[in-house]
A and B are shown apart, each in its own frame.
Chain A
Amino acid sequence: MSVIWLSAIILTISLGGFILGRRRALSSAGGSSKKLHSLPVYYGSNAFMKSVVPAFGILIIWMLIQPFYINGQVAPMIPPGEVETDVNTGLLMSEVRRTAEGIDEAVRSGMLDEDFAVDANADFTDMTERLKDAGQIVTTQFSAPVLRAAQAYRQMSGVSRTMMTIVVIAVALAGAAWGIKQSDRDFRARNVVEQGVLAILIAAASVAILTTIGIILSLIFNTIEFFRLYPAADFFTLLEWAPSFSGRGGSSSLGILPLLWGTIYISVIALLVAVPIGLYSAVYLSEYASARVRGIAKPLLEILAGIPTIVYGLFALLTIGPLLMSVFGDDGTGWMGGGRSVMTAGIAMGIMLIPFVSSLSDDIINAVPQSLRDGSYGLGATRSETIRQVVLPAALPGIVGAILLAASRAIGETMIVVLGAGAAARLSLNPFEAMTTVTAKIVSQLTGDSDFASPEALVAFALGITLFVLTLGLNVFALFIVRKYREQYE
C-alpha cells in the first residue's frame, strides 16, 4: 500500500478518534460541557494526538530502517567471487534494487505474472528476456545471483511493507481507542493535550540541531572515507589540483591550496568592489541623505540583495566577461585569455555584496549615539570630519563584522563562480586569468559521472567541510565582534 494511502487511513482513524472521544466525554457528563474538566474539543484532540503521533512516528522510522535491514539480509546472497573487483557492493546493491523495481514494473504492466516473478527457480535467461520485453533495462552487471537477490529483495520488501501497514494501522487504532477510553468527565484532557503540544514544539525546535548534526555527520563520514583513500597530508599541502577521470583514483592530485587561493582571490576582488561602494553609500544614506532620498535609494540598493545568484552568474558570464574581454582581452591589452576570469566573477560578486555591506553598516552607523556627533560638532568639526574621526571609529568594530559576514558569503557563493570564474585550478597572480574555487569544484566533482566511492567524488566532502569550517569561523568571529561592540552604548 502506498504511503499516501496509508497516511490517509491514519488520518481517518484519528479523526474518528477525535469525534468519538469528544462524544464520549460529553456523554459521560450527561451532555453538559460545564461538568467536564476541559472543553470537549480537548478530549477529541487527546484521542487524535494519541493516534496520529505514534502512528506517523513508526511509519517514518520503519521507512528509514527497512532499506538497511533488507540490504544487510540480501547482500550476503551474492557470492564474493561473482563480483568484479572494481565493482563495489554499494553499486551492486543499487543494481539489485533496480532489478527489483524492474520486476515490479513488469508485473504491473502484465508482462510478467506474479508467480513467475517470485519463483526462486525461474530460468535466468527466460527472466532476462521477459524483462527486456517489458521495456526494463538490463545491464551488463545483471547476473543470476543478482536476479536471485533481487527476487529476495522484492519479496522481503513486500513482506515488510505489509507488516508496516498492519503495525501502523494497529498502532493508530490502539492510540485512538486509548484516547477514547480516557475521555471521562474527570480526565484532565487539556493538561495532557498541552503537554503533547509542548513536546511537538520542542521537537520542531530541535530540527535545527538535527540539521546541523546531519550536515556535520554527512561531511565527516565521507571525509574520513576520503582520507582513507587519499593521504590527508597531500590534500592540504599539494600545490596541484588535477583529478583523473578514470574513476579508479590513484593518479589524481587533489591539493586544496589552488582552490583556496582562487576562493580568496575572488572574494578579495568582490570585497574591493563592494566595501567602498557599500560603505560610502551607507555613510551617505545615514548621515547626509534626506528622508526622501533615503526612502528611495535604500530599497533600490536592497533589490540587489534579493536577486538570485544565478542571475549574477549569467550577468558575469554574458555581460561582464565580454565587456572585460573588449578592454583587457585580445583587442585591448591582451592580458585576458577568455571571458571567464577572477575579475569577471569578482565584480559580479561585488555587486551582489553591495547591499549586504551597505545595510549592515547603515544599521551600525545609525546606532552610534547622537551625543558623540554633537560633541564633535560642538568642537567645530565639519560633518565629514565628524564622520571620519568620530562616527566611523566608533562604528568600526561593527563595520568590520559586516565586512567579515560579507566575506563569508563571498567564500560560500557558488553560482557566480561556477558560471563566471572558469574551471582551471591555478595559483596565479593575474586577476584576468581563469581560476576556480572550492564551491565550484564541489559542484563539478559531485555532478559528474564518477562513482561515489572514488576519491574524485569523495574529495567534494573534504572540500565541503573545509568550506563549512571556514565560513562558520568567519561568521562566529563576525558575530562576536558585532555583539561586543553593541554592548558599549547600552
Chain B
Amino acid sequence: MTDASLPAPSERRQHTSLIAPDARTRKRKAAEARFRMYGIAGIATGIFFLIVLLVSIVSSGAGAFQQTFINVPVYLDPAKLDKNGNRDPEEMSKVSTFGYSPLIQNALLSLVNEQSIETPLKKGGDMKALISASAAAQVRDVVLANPDLVGETIDFRILASSRVDGYLKDRVQREDVARDKNIDAEHLDLVDALVPAGVVEKTFNMAFITGADASESRAESAGIGVAMIGSFFMMLVVLVLSLPIGVAASIYLEEFAPKNRITDIIEVNIANLAAVPSIVFGILGLAVFIQFMHLPQSAPLVGGLVLTLMTLPTIIISTRASLKAVPPSIRDAALGVGASKMQAVFHHVLPLAAPGILTGTIIGLAQALGETAPLLLIGMVGFIASNAPDGLASGLLDPNSAMPAQIYEWAKRADPAFYERAWGGIIILLVFLITMNTIAVILRRRFERRW
C-alpha cells in the first residue's frame, strides 16, 4: 500500500472534533456497553434461576412441616372393642381398624353437634372424609398398649385427611372440590367452622421428620425419617470404605508410584471414572453386587458400595491435590533425619495434608448423599420401610430407602399431597448438604496454611 492510495489526512478528519465522538467511536462504545450488559445479563440470569429454584423449594416444601390435626375426645366403647370384658390384649387385637373407625367418626360427629354447627352432614360415616385413614390404627395402637383405657373417653390428636390438610394450606381449592369424590363442599364448610373452635388445628409436623413412608392413599402420614436412616447407613459404608481406599490410592500414586505404563493406566482410569454417568454405576451395582454376588436387593450396604465406587475418584483427586500442596522440604527434612520414605509420608506429609483430605471427603460425601439414579437400579425405591432398623447388621442389610430415592418415589405419585412431601424432603436434604459444605468450608479456612 502506498501513501497515494490513502485519502488525504485533511479529508478524513474533516468533520470530526476532539470533543464530540464520531459515529464509529460511538458505535464501538455502544458495542462495548452492550457486551458488558450481556455479561451482566448472563450472571443475573444464573442467579435469577438460583433464586427461583430456592424460592420454589422453600415455598412448596414449607407445607410439609405443618400438618393439620383434629383434637377429638373418643369414647372407647367396651361393647365394640372388648365384647367379653376381659381386657385381654390378645382378644382385643382381633378387632381390626374397621372396628375403631366408627368410634372416631361418631366422636367427631358428636363434637360437631356440641359446637352447634349447622351442617347437612348428619351421619357418623359422613365424617370419614375429614379423618386420615391412619387415625383408626393410631387409636387401636393406644388401646392395645393400655387395655384399661377401654370404657373411658380419651382425648386424641388424630391426623386430618390430606384433602382437609390441603384445604387449610390452600393446596385444595373450593373449585376443584366439585370434581373430587373424596371430599365435598359441605366438608369444607364444616372445616371452616371447626377451625375457630380449635378442633382442627395446624401445627408443626414432627412426624414428617421422624416417620416412615406411608401407602399411596395416606399422604398425610408419610415421613422421611426412615429414609434418613437408610441414607445414614449408606454414608457410613461410603465413609468407611472410600476414605481409607481413596487416601491409600492417592498416597501410592502421589508419593511412591514410578512413572510407568501401569500407573499411567491407573491415572487415566481414575480421571475417566470421575466422568462416567452415575446410572452406569447403578448398572454395575445391579450386575455385580446383586446378580453376581447375591447381596440383598434394596440394602443400604449395596447402595453404599455403589456410591463408594462413585465417590472414590472425587476423594482421590482432592487428596492428591492436598498431598501435592505439602512442600518437598518437609519430606526432605524427614528423610534427612533418617526416616524411611514410608515414615516420611505417614508421619509428616499425611498429617499436614489431613485437613485438605477431610475437606475433599466431606464434599465427596455430600455429592454421594444427593445421588439418586444408581439407587433406582439397585431397588432402593418402591419399598415402604415401616419402621427403623435395629442394630448395625439390620441397618445395612434390611431393605430401606434413601432420602433422594424417597423424594423420587413421592414425586412419582400422582397425588399433589405427595408433591408437597417431596419438596419438604428436598428441604431436609438441602439442609444436610449445606451443613456438610459449610463444615468443609470452615475446615478449609481454619486449616488453610501458607508455606
CB distance from B409 to the nearest CB of A (A): 11
Instruction: Evaluate contact between B57 and A311: CB separation under 8 angstroms.
Output: yes
Q: In the complex, which of the residues B291, B381, B407 contacts A314, with contact meaning CB atoms closer than 8 Å?
A: B407
Partner among B253, B273, B371, B376 whose Cβ is within 8 Å of the Cβ of A443 = B376
Report if A53 contacts B (CB, 8 A).
no
The answer to whether B277 touches A413 (Cβ under 8 A) is yes
Taking a contact as CB atoms closer than 8 A, the residue among A67, A204, A443, A460 that contacts B294 in the complex is A67
Q: Which residue of chain B has its CB nearest to the CB of A381?
A: B28
CB contacts under 8 Å to A, within B222-256, are: 244-246, 248-249, 251-253, 256
Which residues of B have CB within 8 Å of A214?
284, 288
Q: Any chain A CB within 8 A of the CB of B110?
A: no
* B43 close to A414 (CB less than 8 A): no
Tally of B interface residues using CB under 8 Å: 90
Q: Are A212 and B269 in contact (CB under 8 A)?
A: yes
Which residues of chain B are near A385, meaning CB under 8 Å?
A: 28, 31-32
Q: Are B377 and A2 in contact (CB under 8 A)?
A: no
Known A-B contacts A202-B252, A412-B277; the reply to A284 vs B39 at CB < 8 A is yes
Q: 1/0 per position for B34-62, CB-CB distance to A under 8 A?
A: 11101111110111011011001100100
A194 to B408, Cβ gap below 8 A?
no
A460 touches B46 (CB 8 A): no
Does A141 make an interface contact (CB < 8 A)?
A: no
Given the interface pairs A308-B372, A354-B49, the reply to whether A419 lies near B411 with Cβ below 8 Å is yes
In Å, the complex CA distance between A297 and B50 comes to 11
Name the interface residues of A33-63: CB closer than 8 Å to any CB of B: none
Chain A CB within 8 A of B266 CB: yes
The answer on a CB contact under 8 Å between B376 and A211 is: no
Q: How far is the CB of B202 from chain A (nearest CB, A)?
A: 22
Tell me the bound Cα distance from A452 to B270 in angstroms. Answer: 30
**CB atoms of A446 and B252 under 8 A apart:** no
Q: Is the CB of B39 within 8 A of A2?
A: no
B-side contacts of A310, CB under 8 Å: 370, 372, 404, 407-408, 411, 426
Q: Are B276 and A215 in contact (CB under 8 A)?
A: yes
Contact among A201, A300, A415 with B251 in the assembled complex (CB-CB below 8 Å): A201
Residue B145, interface by CB 8 Å = no
Distance A314 CA – B379 CA, assembled complex (angstroms): 20
A190-B340, A319-B52 provided; 10 other pairs, C-beta below 8 A?
A: A204-B244, A208-B273, A280-B42, A307-B370, A309-B370, A315-B53, A385-B32, A388-B35, A405-B275, A443-B377
A-B contact pairs, 10 of them (CB 8 A): A204-B245, A205-B253, A209-B266, A218-B288, A277-B45, A284-B38, A405-B275, A439-B373, A447-B376, A447-B381
Chain B residues with CB under 8 Å of chain A are: 28-29, 31-32, 34-36, 38-43, 45-47, 49-50, 52-53, 56-57, 60, 244-246, 248-249, 251-253, 256-257, 263, 265-266, 269-273, 275-284, 286-288, 291-294, 309, 312-313, 316, 340-342, 366, 369-373, 376-377, 379, 381-382, 392-393, 404, 407-408, 411, 419, 422-423, 426, 429-430, 433, 437
The 3 A-B residue pairs with the shortest CB-CB distance in the complex, in nearest-first order: A412-B277, A284-B39, A308-B370
